[in-house]
Amino acid sequence: MLSYRSWSGYAFESICWGHSTALVHLLAPASAISITSWRYYPETPQDQGAQIAMIIERSDDSLMLCEMKYTQEPFILSKAEALELQKKEAIFRKQTKMKKQIFCALITSSGAKKKPCTWKIW
């Protein structure tokens, strides 16, 4: 059975996708070419999988990787979560052989208290 916490996260992602035009306007004004998501399933037990909730391809030959987090209080980014986000970006780069510049955004339901050094919080 799906827990409330998991359901809330899926529901928040669904709402974000429903408002993707507004998010794109906020995150990449006048430069979005496409919006998609991405998931990598490990091919071997040594591999690690990863999922990117939303990817905005921009006209300036760069990408915006978006992570979405639902919380009832302002989101506090722990060191472990920051490392997890960096790991997802690294897996994405490796598996897609991405050469474009990548920007990252953290989209939260209740704001954030701690700003990560490489992830922009919205």
Q: How many residues does the chain have?
A: 122
Over residues 6-49, the pLDDT tens digits come to 888 889 999 999 888 888 888 777 677 888 899 999 988 888 99
Q: Mention the CATH class of domain 4-121.
A: alpha beta
CB 38 within 8 A of CB 52: yes
Instruction: Give the pTM.
Output: 0.81
Rg, Å, the chain Cα set: 14
Alpha helices (H) in the chain, listed in sequence order: 4-18, 20-27, 79-96
Over residues 37-50, the pLDDT tens digits come to 999 999 888 889 99
